[in-house]
Amino acid sequence: MAVRYTQVVHRQKEYGYLIDGYLAEHDSIPGLTYLGSVKALSKVLERRHPDEVVVALPAEEFRFTRGVIEACEKDGIKLSVIPFYAEYIPSNPQFDNIEGIPLMNIRHIPLDNWVNAAAKRMLDILGSLALIICTSPIMLIAAIGVRLSSPGPVIFKQERVGRNKKPFMMYKFRSMRVNASQDTGWSRNSDPRKTKFGAILRKFSIDELPQFFNVLKGDMSLVGPRPEVPHYVQQFKEEIPLYMVKHQVRPGITGWAQVNGLRGDTSIEERIRYDIYYIENWNFFFDLKILFLTLFKGVVNQEKL
């Protein structure tokens, strides 16, 4: 964390920081002036008179924290701390106070508040009803086209993982030929299983219109992280840090990641970063912004026909 901090400070000159040097048990950061052991902090403060001290001690050196705090307070020097568990906490952590005992919430989720949850659910119900009515002619044409394009059902149902890791059946217009790997196979932009009509449906995201019924049922939301099939959830759970955090809210038809171009064959790690930002910074107008952006940026898929 200390190295990452110095890299940011050097890269972002507008912050106005100049690193005078660092203290550690060993000289380990190239390009910076080594000022000695952490135990020598008091003498270094007297000699150099810095404006601020930033602490980024690893867990095994946490025992030095009290001495660092006391040294800085004795000289009246501003002190900032980068916790050794910083990679696990949000950028704006929330604290509860239980009779003077501070409890830091590792993951603050605005939708845990029932008022926020009720407002989002009301938007989902009214929005999905309106969209079902408005898109019903398109869905009728799509259903006829799917039926004529290849043998098989019009609606493709696939198990996905939703809120609180509960499975549900997600609906889509079938865009591929019926195949043995449809329940676990990863759909890619250039997928030979797609029908020509299915490629058109996916190009303009028409295949996802039946998910408005998922929203009406309460399995999904209009806005939220995209749900994945159980097979890949188990894989990504082990490979991608914080992947399972997305299951603390309802999955969505569109999301912050999607309107920022993260669809199809794009980085799962990057999508999760956007999903977690959405979860931690949710508000009613953020949902409206994403829905508005979806009309202009998220409807047309970039995959080739």
Look up the domain containing 30 and give its range. Answer: 2-88
- The 10 Å Cβ neighbour count of residue 228 is 19
Which range, of 73-77, 83-87, 168-172, 230-234, averages the lowest pLDDT? 83-87
Q: Which burial class, exposed, middle or buried, applies to 88 when counting CB atoms under 10 A from its CB (0-12, 13-18, 19+)?
A: exposed
Establish if 187 belongs to a structural domain: yes
User: Is this prediction's pTM over 0.75?
Assistant: no
- pLDDT tens sequence across 208-254: 999 999 999 999 999 999 999 999 999 998 888 789 989 999 999 99
Q: Which of 55, 88, 121 is the last residue before a domain boundary? A: 88
SS3 for 200?
helix
Distance CA 106, CA 108 (A): 6
Count of domains observed in the chain: 2
What residues does 105 pair with on adjacent strands? 94
Domain assignment present for residue 258? The answer is: yes
Residues 155 and 284 in one domain: yes
Residue 266 lies in a domain: yes
- Residues 181 and 122 occupy one common structural domain: yes
Tell me the per-residue pLDDT of 114-156, one tens digit each, with 9 for 90 and over. Answer: 999 999 999 999 999 999 999 999 999 999 999 998 888 999 9
Same domain flag for 146 and 272: yes
For residues 209 and 262, membership in a common domain is answered with yes
Based on the fold, state whether residues 239 and 288 are members of the same structural domain: yes
Residue 94 in domain:
no
16 contacts: CB under 8 Å, gap ≥ 6 = none
Could you tell me if 96 and 108 are in contact, meaning their C-beta atoms sit under 8 angstroms apart? no
Does one domain contain both 123 and 56?
no
Longest dimension (CA), the chain: 83
Quick one: 75 and 121 in the same domain? no
